[in-house]
Structures are given as C-alpha cells and as structure tokens.
Structure 1
C-alpha cells in the first residue's frame, strides 16, 4: 500500500492506495508544532479505525507547500513506516514540461494536480484548486504546464472581512437562496460566495480565451463543490485529484526508487 500526503497551509489530506485504488482518506489540520511522534500516533489512531497497520505501507509520498512540516512528516515515515518518503520536488519524474519562468517557484500541489488532470482528462485543461489560496493552472495538449493565476482563498476573504469590519460577524460559508438578502449574515454569505463565483468564472473565461479551443475545467479542493454548484464554467469536480496525482507520480518513480 502507498501512504500519500497532500500538505496544504490549512489542512493535510492523506490517503492510502492499494493497487492504484484509493481505499481510504482523511483530513487533519496542518500544525507546524506537531512532532513526528504526535503525527505518528494520530495516524496510528486513524489506521486502527480502518483496521490498517503501518506494516501494510510499502511506501510514502509527500507533496507539501509548508516547509516547516516536512521534517516531522519525513521523520514520522522513517520511524513508523520504516520508509524514506518520496518528496515532490526537483529530481522527481513527473512527465510534465514546466513552462514557468522559474519552474522551482511552482507549488508542488500545482504540479501534482497538473499531472493527475492531464492523465485523467487529457489536455488542454484548466485546473482550479480551492485551498487556502485558489490556484488556476493551464496545461496544453502537449502535457506542458503553461502557468496560471493565484487568488486569495474564499476563507481568507471571509476572515479578512470579519477582521477588518468592526460590525460584521464571522459567518458560515454556505450558499443563501437569493442574492438580495434581508439580514446581515445572509448578505455577507451572498456577497462572498456569489462574488467569489464571479471572480473564478472571470479568470477561467480569460484563461480560455488565451488558450483557445475546447478546454475542460476541473475543480478540486475543499470548496470546489460549493463554488462549482454556481459556476457556469466548471465542468468537473474531482475532490481527490491531488491524491490521485501523488499515486500517478509514485508509479513513475517506483522503478528508479527500487533500483
């Protein structure tokens, strides 16, 4: 079995693959202060619930945009799984030609998403990942990563409004039934959610104009279902795109690793 970690600024999503099939997954808060042992014990509890064992894990792969968490995760893999984790970064085979000005500046999660999106849906494709930041990535029919855009995440936008406006309260990010709302809570929800949908669709529309042709738009990440339910341009929601990408990249690097 393969244990895969997608480490984001707000959450760590981890999944277990058996014979290229995602058999279980979990989401936990990203905590810079957790030690390798604390992470290991937490994962053991998750494994026990699913009747899994660290002995079942044949390899570990990590994609991370949070450098401070990496030592603890890598040490946890060594101590509890007796495996040196594969880390997405320079030297890892992805099959993706990165056309960024500086390829090292592209977040690991964006590359993993691009690999999975192209493998699963072909190209050209636009991938929108709704995380702490919302990222837009464009991949052409030649499996070339062309670049994209980065937007503050919907939760960051909501928190900023609460923190900067004295009389406005923090609200749950759920979609109200109307845009003309009759109370402050729903007015904030309508403005944030429908306004965010508008921002996403505008960016996607402009990216489509630059790419040209028939382009599939795939959404992933925590708020993908919420935004896609109102978007005119998102074709597919794939909640586990990043985990699938980690499994695909592991397959590309397995032979060299075992050589």
Structure 2
C-alpha cells in the first residue's frame, strides 16, 4: 500500500492508498521540529486503530511546501517503514507537466500536484482554487500545462490579522453566515460578513478575470478544507474535490512505479 504525505504550512496529511482508493487518512499540525520517532509513535497507533500494520506500507511519497519538515519524514520512511520515499517533483516523481511560468522551480509542490490531478480528472482548461493557509487560484490549460495563478492570504490568515491588529474585535469561527443579509447588527456578525462574503466576492471576481484572460471556457475546481463551506454560497465552482492533492500524489506514485 502507498502512504502519501502532504505537508502544508498548517497541517500534515497522511493518506493510506490501496491502488487509487484512500483507505484511511490522518492529520497533524505541521511542526518542522517533529522527529521521525515522534511521527512513528503517532502513526503506528493510528494504523493499528484502522486495522493496518507498518509492514502494509510498501511505498511512500511526500509533497511538502515546508522544506525543513522533509528530513524527519525521510527518517520516518527509512527507519520505520524500510523504504526510501519518493519526493514529489524530484527523481522518478518529476511533475511530468509543462510549467509555463517565469521561475518554474518556485512553483509550490501542492499547486503542481493539484494541477496534475485536476488535468487527469477533468478535460479542458481549468482553474483550481485551493483554500489552504494561503488561497491560491491556478490556471491549467487543456494540455495539462501549468500557466500561472494567484496567491492571496487564506481566510484564517485574514481573520488572524484582523483580530490581532485591533484592540476590541473578538475572535470568531469561520462559518456560514446565519442569514443572507450583508448588514450586520452586532460586531461578530459584521466581522463574519466581512470575512466570509468578502472572500466569496474575491473568488468570484478573480475567477471571472482569469476566465476572461484565458479566453476559452474553463471549469473551476475547488479543493481544500473550506471548499465545501463556500460551495453552498456561490455557483462559481464546477467541481469540489477535497482529495485533489492526495489524488495527485497517488498519480505521481503510480507513474514512479511505487508499490
């Protein structure tokens, strides 16, 4: 079985694949100081709770946007699973797509993997919207080439900045507004309206501008933890695919002939 590891700025997601099917997944806060031994203790217990053993894992692939976290994950793979991990974008796990931007090497692994998975799943020109620590919008053409995109602060980053730099605003949770009104009658509602509907307006506006620049019909694929939340309040998404990054890693592993 394949263990896919997606290291983001906020969380590390581990997913256990049988073929292209996810059998289990686990999430832990990203901490570059976490050792391979600590990962192993945590992960071994979770595998056992799902009825698996470490020996069931015969291949590991890692995608990371946090370079400092990579070494300890390599230790985890080699010491506890007895395999050398494939690193997304390197060696046998090269992207295999054209990266048509000014500095191809600066493309984040998560965005490249999303592009690979989206092109494999959906035909034609695509815009991938990923709601992560940052909110990214990426253009992939009908040949699967990555053409560029947009990076905006993630919704939680924006909320943290708002709360952290004002004296009297309370911390609130990101959730669907309780009504369709955009005129809040208390502080919490006004904050939620500003953050939530502000993000909806931003995504709709940026997608419209990207479509106009692409000049051909383009489907919009949303991913990331908050994609489902926003889906209920906008018609801009053609598909919501919360496993897009993990599926891209499984596809890369398949191409690299990992077990």
Retained in 2: the 8 A contact 1:14–1:26?
Answer: yes
Retained in 2: the 8 A contact 1:15–1:25?
Answer: yes
Give the Cα–Cα distance (whole angstroms) in 1 for the partners of residues 135 and 127 of structure 2: 13
Corresponding residue for residue 249 of structure 2:
246
Corresponding residue for residue 235 of structure 2:
232
Retained in 2: the 8 A contact 1:93–1:252?
Answer: no
Cα drift, residue 148 of structure 1: 0.4
Give the Cα–Cα distance (whole angstroms) in 1 for the partners of residues 10 and 148 of structure 2: 23
Give the Cα–Cα distance (whole angstroms) in 2 for the partners of residues 94 and 107 of structure 1: 11
SS of the aligned residue for 1:233 comes to coil
Cα drift, residue 231 of structure 1: 2.2
Give the Cα–Cα distance (whole angstroms) in 2 for the partners of residues 229 and 98 of structure 1: 32
Give unmatched runs, 5+ long, in structure 2: none
Bigger CA drift: 110-119 or 136-145? 136-145
**Selected match of 1:181 from 175, 181, 184:** 184
Corresponding residue for residue 126 of structure 1:
127
Cα drift, residue 228 of structure 1: 2.1
Moved over 6 A (4+): none
Give the Cα–Cα distance (whole angstroms) in 1 for the partners of residues 133 and 20 of structure 2: 28
Corresponding residue for residue 226 of structure 2:
223
Give the Cα–Cα distance (whole angstroms) in 2 for the partners of residues 97 and 134 of structure 1: 22
- When normalised by structure 2's length, the TM-score is 0.96
Give the Cα–Cα distance (whole angstroms) in 2 for the partners of residues 16 and 230 of structure 1: 32
Give the Cα–Cα distance (whole angstroms) in 2 for the partners of residues 4 and 90 of structure 1: 15
Corresponding residue for residue 209 of structure 1:
212
Retained in 2: the 8 A contact 1:77–1:85?
Answer: yes
Give the Cα–Cα distance (whole angstroms) in 2 for the partners of residues 115 and 9 of structure 1: 20
Corresponding residue for residue 148 of structure 1:
149
Corresponding residue for residue 104 of structure 1:
105
Retained in 2: the 8 A contact 1:113–1:127?
Answer: yes
SS of the aligned residue for 1:162 comes to helix
Cα drift, residue 86 of structure 1: 0.4
Cα drift, residue 240 of structure 1: 0.5
Give unmatched runs, 5+ long, in structure 1: none
